[in-house]
């Protein structure tokens, strides 16, 4: 009889190392926003991979893996950053196994900070070196040597989260280390977070793609209303910035930029929900919102997280 493995796997690492790209590849759905900019992920995003009989991954186990995609580890400068780091630390406490994602480069200051957390853990830790499709293979040996001298990893698995190279091997090894148990979620469920949260993330991702360097990390998205109206879902959301000059950038000449952002977000949301939506976007200035704990709490509640 096939054994069933179930557990939580936290994914941590420096900003922009490919954690969200890996999560999206694993669950086969765009749950987490991706961008070339660091700190695209602000909350822990949970994705569920269910393996019915192990055949797809050539494994002797069935399983359900709940992945915890965490914000990039950085030195916080405000309440927003402090909250992101708390989310990372909490995910470590909730996990049965840890993926420490890194580039094929020797350890730096960020990795040494992560190491202090990892040394406190009593769970298996995998070193997952990403972007092997972009770095010379000769870079792997000195990078691996640097990490292995610092910590005794259970497994070292080089991957490409973008192309999926070696991801099957990563899942195979993960199942071996997870505890036995029964499925927690229905077999077709991809996340335990509500739809409002994922819609909020999809809109925010489009800000990074369409505004880039024009709007550094001074923008947030708040879901104002989410209503089912027959075959149509009506969504209203506010893009929050810190200055009037940023509001002008978001709206664009004649409202063209916010329209562009809304159109792109609507396409992703419709694909995710499998139905038509009407999306209405607004832009509002709230000075220093990243240090406003009341606003941060209200925004999280509005997003259903």
pLDDT at 45: 75
Q: What pLDDT is attached to residue 147?
A: 92
CA–CA dist 83, 42 (Å, integer): 9
pLDDT of res. 217: 62
Question: What structural domains does the chain harbor?
Answer: 3-177 (3.40.50.300), 195-302 (3.30.300.20)
Q: DSSP characters for 87-146?
A: HHHHHHHH-SEEEEEE-SS---HHHHHHHHHHTT--S-EEEEE--TTTS-GGGHHHHHHH
> Helix (H, G, I), strand (E, B), or coil: what is residue 62?
strand
Position 195 scores a pLDDT of 80
Instruction: Supply the pLDDT for residue 38.
Output: 42
**Looking at residue 24, what is its pLDDT?**
83
pTM of full prediction above 0.85: no
Q: How many CB atoms lie within 10 A of CB 271?
A: 12
Task: Kindly state the helix (H) or strand (E) to which residue 303 belongs, with its residue range.
Answer: none
CB-hemisphere CA count at 13 Å for 117?
Answer: 19
Per-residue pLDDT of the chain (305 residues; tens, 9 = 90+): 578 899 999 988 888 888 888 988 888 765 554 444 444 444 567 788 888 875 566 677 888 899 987 766 655 555 655 666 677 777 778 889 999 999 888 888 889 988 988 898 899 999 999 988 888 888 888 888 999 999 999 999 999 988 988 999 999 999 999 999 888 888 877 777 678 878 888 888 888 888 876 665 667 888 888 888 888 889 999 998 888 888 998 998 999 999 999 999 999 888 888 889 999 999 988 887 767 667 666 666 555 55
DSSP 71: P
Q: Identify whether the C-beta of residue 32 lies closer than 8 Å to the C-beta of residue 275.
A: no
* 59 contacts 175 by C-beta, under 8 angstroms: yes
């Amino acid at each position: 009889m096939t054994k069933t493995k179930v557990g939580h796997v936290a994914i941590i690492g420096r900003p922009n190392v490919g954690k969200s790209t890996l999560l999206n590849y694993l669950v086969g759905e765009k749950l987490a926003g991706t961008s070339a900019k660091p700190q695209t992920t602000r909350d822990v995003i949970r994705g569920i991979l269910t393996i019915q009989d192990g055949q797809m991954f050539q494994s002797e186990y069935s399983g359900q893996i709940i992945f915890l995609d965490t914000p990039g580890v950085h030195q916080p400068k405000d309440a927003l950053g402090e909250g992101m780091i708390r989310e990372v630390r909490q995910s470590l406490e909730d996990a049965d196994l840890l993926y420490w994602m890194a580039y094929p480069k020797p350890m730096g200051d960020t990795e040494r900070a992560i190491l202090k957390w990892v040394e406190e853990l009593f769970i298996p830790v995998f070193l997952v070196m990403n972007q092997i499709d972009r770095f010379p293979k000769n870079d792997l040996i000195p990078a691996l040597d640097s990490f292995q001298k610092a910590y005794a990893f259970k497994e070292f698995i080089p991957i490409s989260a973008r192309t999926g190279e070696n991801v099957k091997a990563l899942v195979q090894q993960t199942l071996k280390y997870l505890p036995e148990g029964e499925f927690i979620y229905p077999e077709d469920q991809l996340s335990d977070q509500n739809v409002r949260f994922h819609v909020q993330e999809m809109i925010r991702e489009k800000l990074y793609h369409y505004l880039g360097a024009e709007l550094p990390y001074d923008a947030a998205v708040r879901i104002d209303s989410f209503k089912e109206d027959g075959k149509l879902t009506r969504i209203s959301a506010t893009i929050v910035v810190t200055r009037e000059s940023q509001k002008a950038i978001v709206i664009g000449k004649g409202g063209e930029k916010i329209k562009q952002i809304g159109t792109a977000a609507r396409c992703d949301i419709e694909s995710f929900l499998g139905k038509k939506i009407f999306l209405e976007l607004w832009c509002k200035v709230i000075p220093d919102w990243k240090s406003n704990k009341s606003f941060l709490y209200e925004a999280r509640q509005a997003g259903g997280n």
